[in-house]
Amino acid sequence: MSGRIVVLTGGVGGAKLALGLCHAVPAESVTAIVNTGDDFRHLGLWISPDLDTLLYTLSGKSDEERGWGRASESWNFMAVLRTLGGEDWFQLGDGDLALHVERSRRLQAGRTLTDVMADYGRSWHVAAEILPMSDQPVATWLDTDEGPLPFQRYFVERRCAPRATAVRFDGAEQALPGPDVIARLTSPDTKAILIAPSNPYLSIDPILAVPGIRAALASAVAPVVAVSPLVGGDAVKGPTRKLMDELGMPATPRAIADHYAGIIDALLVDERDRGAPLPETAHDFCDTLMLTLDDRLRVAHAALDLAARTTR
Amino acid sequence: MSGRIVVLTGGVGGAKLALGLCHAVPAESVTAIVNTGDDFRHLGLWISPDLDTLLYTLSGKSDEERGWGRASESWNFMAVLRTLGGEDWFQLGDGDLALHVERSRRLQAGRTLTDVMADYGRSWHVAAEILPMSDQPVATWLDTDEGPLPFQRYFVERRCAPRATAVRFDGAEQALPGPDVIARLTSPDTKAILIAPSNPYLSIDPILAVPGIRAALASAVAPVVAVSPLVGGDAVKGPTRKLMDELGMPATPRAIADHYAGIIDALLVDERDRGAPLPETAHDFCDTLMLTLDDRLRVAHAALDLAARTTR
């Protein structure tokens, strides 16, 4: 398959698929459109967790064992911050801090997030394109039984313990898609658009909430294929299943397809979910658990094959 | 000697005397009024080199061998920053960063530098008082043969290589002394005011440039004793001697006393400078080289003894 491959993605799970894609096709033909709803200002710094996860993963610097952040990280900053009574609920590694400090400096100097990430990608020889969904701030908030919580407070500090009743994306209505986002989605050169197996509510919906992106997906020439985030009726990691329960959505491939109705043309389903309620639309099966690089390559190929067999 | 001891000080050399004072008298009776003319905004962070040197030295966390920064420091942040093309001429250790990030956060939240340093001192169990000379920004600039340079560019990036023709303190005229600075200098409870053997032009003059401080020294009840920064006609460290040459001042105890004329009542001179031109005012001799803690204690005692023998 030639042409550009675009993937809409959140952090860890989505980055695995993006890495698989970079091995399945020439990496320079891969564009990741990345959720920035998790971005937040912390200790005065601008933190972009999902963008940085893509950067770490695609540059080979991610910590595979811990599952987030950079490999060979040290934690001197946090240790000293703690002795000063600083906020220590969000872990910032010493090397990781460089991304945040330098990004904050450049943003304050008037550069865009898109520019900063493009520079970072070049600096670290990442051939794929890492595009923020928007250069304007969009903040994911959860309404919970403990009141409204910004994403990182819910996800990291409270470890997803509060019961969620709704998810919203502050600022999304005023946000514009990143400068190349619409062009990549609608270009005739784009051969497939994938939605990574990221959390639909927390990682993909913020992207879809940016005005223009949903319409671009609808008018795209390329088929749109989502990879189900469910593996045997559960999420591999994170609060997807708990959230689906709380929001009254059954943890089934059909519910995922319904959630993406009007956007996707086909769904790649984990083979463990063959017996679960399936979508009426096009779908295919694959072992979607991505533990090794071979797994990532397999899922990437399966998603691309499904896209190649799907017509709009 | 009972009562409060106040010391006007820059960074490394002055911090050594301050540490000696904290061992010579009860540490809680020592107040350091610290130069903030070296403070600067770097990478979007507020950096206060001299205040932090006092904090590190008086809390026992300074790196004695390197001569600046904290002991057991790591440098992951700088290493990553370099790979991103960030400015790397000013070294920021991983643990050290916590001071700057947390300080910047608090200043942006409306706290004063005096508050922040008092909190840091409490957090690290520093019994002595570390007072910024001012809560308003004062920036030391050097006019040089390469044009005007802010202090850190001159001192760190250019390693004092440019030839200086003048030193000025931007913002000093509009600055106020820190909230307790004047009270500490003029209090009847203060038994001695010392001027540390810091660079007179770069570390002490900025303090004296803050309106009100010079007058407070003149009207103080306590005697004011300076420790000469010269040891055998040269500076122990830093550009003092080179600067004195460039600014046309002989490197002699008398020139130091002349520089502080109207402010000091006596000068503690290094014994190696007995043969050099001496001040006409009160002076005493001591081995002022401070390599060990014993040295620091000796110089502290000698300065306090000279103050005790000096009447205003």
Pairing of strands B190-195, B4-9: parallel
Q: What is the DSSP string of A177-201?
A: B-TTHHHHHH-TTEEEEEE-SS-II
B4-45+112-308 CATH fold = Rossmann fold (3.40.50)
**CB burial of residue B241 (10 Å; 0-12, 13-18, 19+):** middle
CA A90/CA A78 separation, integer angstroms: 9
How far apart CA B50 and CA B141 sit, in angstroms, is 16
- Average pLDDT, stretch A35-59? 97
Widest Cα–Cα separation across chain A: 59
Amino acid A238: pLDDT? 67
* pLDDT reported for residue B286: 97
Average pLDDT over residues A35-45: 97
Range scoring the smallest mean pLDDT among B132-136, B160-164, B234-238 = B234-238
Average pLDDT over chain A reads 95
Token duo for residue B231: 């040891």
ipTM of the complex: 0.92
pLDDT value for A268: 98
Length of chain A in terms of residues written: 312
pLDDT, tens digit, 9 for 90 and up, residues A176-194: 999 999 999 999 999 999 9
Nearest CA in chain A to B87: A102
- Closest CA relative to residue B94, chosen from A91, A76, A82: A76
Residues B64-75, mean pLDDT to the nearest whole number: 87
Q: Looking at the complex, does the CB of residue A44 fall below 8 Å from at least one CB of chain B?
A: yes
- Per-residue pLDDT tens for A89-104? 999 999 999 999 999 9
- A88-92 CB contacts, 8 Å cutoff, 24+ apart: A89/A156, A89/A157, A90/A42, A90/A47, A90/A152, A90/A156, A90/A157, A92/A42, A92/A43, A92/A47
Residue B77 to residue A73, Cβ atoms within 8 A = no
Mean pLDDT over A239-256 rounds to: 87
Q: Which of B45, B59, B101 to mutate to test the interface with A (most CBs of A within 10 A)?
A: B101
Q: Which residue of A has its CA nearest to B46?
A: A44
Is the pLDDT confidence value at B239 over 80?
A: no
| B292 at A interface, C-beta within 8 A | no
- Provide the 8-state DSSP code for B189: T
The region, left, alpha or beta by phi > 0 then psi within -120 to 50, assigned to residue B53 is alpha
pLDDT at B2 (0 to 100):
64
In the CATH scheme, what is the code of domain A4-40+112-308? 3.40.50.10680
Q: A84–B119: do the CB atoms touch at under 8 Å?
A: yes
Considering only alpha carbons, which residue of chain A is nearest residue B82? A98
- Structure confidence at residue B243 (pLDDT): 85
Residues of B whose CB is below 8 A from A85: 119, 123
Residue B238 has pLDDT above 80, yes or no: no
Say whether pLDDT at A269 is over 90.
yes
Residues of A in contact with B102 (CB under 8 A): 43, 81, 84, 86
Q: How far is B83 from chain A (nearest CA, A)?
A: 7
- CA–CA distance, B258 with B265 (Å, rounded to integer): 11
Indicate the helix (H) or strand (E) that contains B195.
strand B190-195
Residue identified by tokens 């008037």 is A110
Which of A77, A87, A126 best tests the B interface by mutation, with the highest count of B CBs <10 A? A77
Phi and psi at residue B53, in whole multiples of 5°? Answer: -65, -40
pLDDT band at A1 (very low <50, low <70, confident <90, very high): very low
pLDDT in tens, B28-69: 999 999 999 999 999 999 999 999 999 999 999 998 888 788
